Amino acid sequence: MSSDKQEGSLTLKQRFDRWMIKHGRVLVVGIPYFWLFLFFLVPFLIVLKISFSVAEYAQPPYTPLFEWIDEGITVTLNFGNYLFLLSDSLYVTAYLNSIRIAAISTVITLLIGYPMAYGIARAQGSMRSVLLMLVILPFWTSFLIRVYAWIGILDREGLINAFLMWTGIISEPLIMRQTEFAVYVGIVYTYLPFMILPLYSTLEKMDVSLVEAALDLGCKPWQAFAKITLPLSMPGILAGSLLVFIPAVGEFVIPELLGGPNTLMIGRTLWNEFFANRDWPIASSVAIAMLLFLVVPIMWFQHIQTKQEEGQQ
Amino acid sequence: MSEAVLERVHEDVHKTQPWNNPDAVPYIRFENVTKKFGDFYAVDDVSLDIYRHELFALLGGSGCGKTTLLRMLAGFEEPTSGKIYIDGVDMAGVPAYERPTNMMFQSYALFPHMSVEQNVAFGLVQDGVSRSEIKELVAEMLGLVQMSKFAKRKPHQLSGGQRQRVALARSLIKRPKVLLLDEPLGALDKKLREQTQFELVNIQEKVGTTFVMVTHDQEEAMTMASRIAVMNEGVINQTGTPFELYEYPNSRYTANFLGQVNLIEGVLVDDDEKYAVIKSDEAGCEIYIDHAVQGHEGMTFWVALRPERLRITKEAPKETKYNCVSGKVEEIGYLGGISTYHVRLESGKRIKVTEPNSTRQIEPRYTWEDTVWVSWEAGAASVLNK
């Protein structure tokens, strides 16, 4: 009896194994594709669809794109939303502001992150993993809570002001929260690990003897850095910059919590259109336009990366 | 011989062997140099003179301090104590980029984002040499290492041997007073290595630069170097020409490191001005040495016997009182040109003998378990006391 059972389960397992060998590849590759299709592409297409319709007081609050009229499909595409984005200076300003803030933040993040990544990459074995751990550690706390913590630090009655007033350096509290400065602090703080990690991985792979060779051939240390280390860490700089720049452009939470009413960024505009104005079509077109803005740097990044990989082979 | 001829011979010797000339001024001088990493002595009180135009090899196993010594010369490490002079100038505090040395790295350290040409030109560009001059010098240097065809390539498009040549060209182009080579042939396969050894020597002779190289390969050191310093645990064991080191090792370490050797432990039983006799239980015989030995009777010595200096015979030699042992053939290595035999003595000691196969034979001369006699001339052995 029991041996029969065993044999049965064995063949079942064998059958499963054979099936896995045959189809496992498709399965492994297929699952993430299916996931991306379901939760990325489909919502994107829905948003794209909405962006071509007109707002109305109804449920849902926009006109349908496809209509059955006389046993045929009629597609009504409305480009008005996109034209509106261009005509209303609010959106253009918001886009430009977002890009400016994201770009400046990226540069600051790079300036802070590069020496840190370099230090970690050149640290001794056990020290290195401790330092890396410290970079990753903030991720263990909720992003929202960390941004709230900055409110406590930058506020009128916050930590910094309290300390400076106590020491007597200032008599009036500094206005830091609800300024663009606070937005920079928030973005740089939040995205710093995304800059450090790719930089670290390129710097760590770099052969130290390359720098020694440059010194040996007559370079002063800063020249060796400029001629050897910097160009060779370019892939890391690019990867880190894009990882910071792209999400920073669309950032909503940080300008909302730390920025003032004048800090106009596209993420907030988007929020307002959706939830305050309930104009879904305009909001969707804002989202699609932002995506196009961001797709260009992503494509560029991927192009550079594939080129880099080809170069290494 | 007349005085004049004698003088000329002396002059000649002094020119080709400056280390034998008491008046010669060393080009590179290490003076009681010590380098500590934490508690570890990487280099321990090393004093060493290297002369101009030498191809000097620092030879030793990994961790013996040879690379640290080289890196101190290049300026990548500062000695903990002691002084280093190059061409009479104290190198203390002189950074790597101001030293008259250039280094060829073990990994070659070619800049991956620059072409062969740019790599070779790097040092000159750094010195602000004019563009036309750079072009000329780079072309000349690439010609010297036979890499002119590959000037536009990137390092990753080159083979190991080609990279080695580019690295050599790059480190030579500034005409350094001293060229430092860290395991210059370590990354090449055996065939290429042998070929490159001679090329390197030829290039060295052509450019006349003083070469200091680090290697763990005794064959490489012996073929290439004018002199070798054998290092062990941060200390120089012995310095000398390949000939001196092989024929007159001063310790078991050197004897073992250069070539193959049988070391037989024994006790000095008869000490005379002209000869010495060492009684060895390990060999089971008395060993007659044709020169005096520094020491007193009863002292322990090691007799170093090179495998190729031993005779192997089936019949016992006529004279078996001294320098003659018998045993069983335990292992045979037929290498074509020579054969090696491992002979197990009664004491259990194994002796290695190599014999040239200078005539064609119908069948192998000895086979396993053959009882054979191993004997040697009185002058074949060197006696070591450490």
**Distances, alpha carbon B179 to alpha carbons A113, A131, B174, B186, B203, in Å:** 38, 39, 10, 17, 12
**Which residues does chain A have within 8 Å of residue B75's beta carbon, measured at their own beta carbons?**
215-216
Tell me: domain B19-253, CATH 3.40.50.300, correct?
A: yes
What b/e string do you get for B89-127 counting C-beta neighbours within 10 Å, with b at 16 or more? eebeebebbebebbbbbbbbbbbbbbbbbbbbbbbbbbe
**Chain A residues with beta carbon closer than 8 angstroms to that of B126:** 217-219, 223
pLDDT digit string, tens, across residues A248-257: 988 888 988 8
**A279 phi and psi angles, rounded to 5 deg:** -100, 85
Residue (of B216, B249, B228) closest to B64 by Cα position? B216
Structure tokens at B206: 């052509």
Q: Are B111 and A213 within 8 A, CB to CB?
A: yes
Nearest CB neighbour to A216, from listed B74, B112, B154: B74
Per-residue pLDDT tens for B110-166?
Answer: 999 999 999 999 999 988 889 999 999 999 889 888 888 998 999 999 988 889 889
Reported as a single tens digit per residue, the pLDDT across A94-106 is: 888 888 999 999 9
Q: Under an 8 A CB cutoff, do B109 and A219 touch?
A: no
Q: What local confidence, expressed as pLDDT, does residue B6 receive? A: 64
Please answer yes or no on whether A212 and B127 come within 8 Å at the CB atom: no
Residue B5: per-residue pLDDT: 65
Q: Where do you find CATH 1.10.3720.10 in chain A?
A: 80-312
Is the CB of A231 less than 8 angstroms away from the CB of B113? yes
Give the model's pLDDT for residue A3: 47
Interchain contact, A209 vs B123, CB within 8 Å: no
Instruction: Find the helix or strand (DSSP H, E) in which B229 lies.
Output: strand B227-232
Q: Could you tell me if the ipTM is greater than 0.90?
A: no
Domain boundaries along the sequence of chain B: 19-253, 261-384
CATH number of B261-384: 2.40.50.140
pLDDT band at A9; cut points 50, 70, 90: low
Give the distance, in angstroms, between the CA of residue A17 and the centroid of all CA atoms in the same chain. 40
Tell me the chain B residues in contact with residue A217 when contact means C-beta distances shorter than 8 Å: 97, 102, 122-123, 126, 170-171, 174
User: In sequence order, what DSSP letters do the residues of B109-152 get, joined into one string?
Assistant: ---TTS-HHHHHHHHHHHTT--HHHHHHHHHHHHHHTT-GGGTT
Low-confidence ranges of chain B (pLDDT < 70): 1-6, 8-15, 320
- In chain B, residues with a C-beta closer than 8 Å to the C-beta of A312 are 156
Question: Distances from the Cα of A22 to the Cαs of A15, A31, B249, in angstroms?
Answer: 11, 16, 67
Q: Give CATH for domain A80-312.
A: 1.10.3720.10
Q: Virtual CA dihedral for A192, A194, A199, A201, nearest 10 degrees? A: 130
Pick from B112, B123, B154: CB nearest A217: B123
Q: How far apart are the C-alpha atoms of B74 and A223, rounded to whole Å?
A: 18
Nearest to A210 among B106, B111, B123 (CB): B111
- Chain A residues whose beta carbon lies within 8 Å of the beta carbon of residue B129: none
CA distance B230 to chain A (A): 25
B171 Cβ contact list (under 8 Å, min separation 6): A216, A217, B102, B103, B104, B179, B180
* pTM passes above 0.80: no
